[in-house]
Amino acid sequence: MTISSRRTPCVGICSTTYGDLVCRGCKRFAHEIIDWNTYSDDQHARVWQRLNALRDACVDQYVVVVDAQRFDVVIASLRLDLAVPYTRGGLVYELLRRRGRTLATLAEVGLEARTGSDSAGAIRDEIDREFMARSRAAYERSFHTSVDG
């Protein structure tokens, strides 16, 4: 069984078509996007594991679940595909991705910021910037080349 039942990590915004070595949308490396359909289940799983670990570390850096009951109710209302094995960080990320711009405060969904901001949209943007920075660093570490050329 693979790490995710989703077919691909793609979020529909592929910046690799414009020359990026790391996609600004899904955070995969350009060669992973190109070769995805030829990858084995094990290769898919390794990519998913890297993406999930990077994302979850970023989420943990910026936000914490303080009211699990409230959080779980909100997550249930999102109607996520429960066949996908979400981590707690993955659930927080999906919540902020889907509702970050419409939330008045993080507290209304059982979350608390670890930073000064309580704006869900701002926190989501910070998490995404950090996720991208860590993904770029992973690329540079793996291939000993700068993503900036």
Q: What is the 3-state secondary structure (H, E, C) of 56-123?
A: HHHHHHHEEECCHHHHHHHHHHCCCCCCCCCCHHHHHHHHHHHHCCCCCCCHHHCEEECCCCCCHHHH
In this predicted model, what pLDDT tens digit does every residue of 17-59 receive, in sequence order? Answer: 888 999 999 999 999 999 999 999 999 999 999 999 999 999 9
Domain-located, residue 111 = yes
Q: Which pLDDT tens digits describe the chain residue by residue (149 residues)?
A: 334 556 889 888 899 988 899 999 999 999 999 999 999 999 999 999 999 999 999 999 999 999 999 999 999 999 888 777 889 999 999 999 999 999 989 999 999 999 888 899 999 999 999 999 999 999 999 998 888 86
**pLDDT score recorded for residue 102:** 93
Domain-located, residue 10 = no
Domain-located, residue 115 = yes
Instruction: For residue 114, give both structure tokens.
Output: 């670890």
Domain-located, residue 9 = no
Domain-located, residue 147 = no
pTM: 0.89
**pLDDT score recorded for residue 97:** 93
Domain-located, residue 149 = no
Question: How many domains in the chain?
Answer: 1
Which of 56, 122, 113, 50 has the alpha carbon at shortest distance from 86?
Answer: 56
Residue range of the domain that includes 136: 15-140
Distance CA 22, CA 71 (A): 31
Please measure the distance between the N-terminal and C-terminal CA atoms of the chain and give it in whole angstroms.
37
Domain-located, residue 5 = no
Domain-located, residue 148 = no
**pLDDT score recorded for residue 1:** 33
**pLDDT score recorded for residue 149:** 64
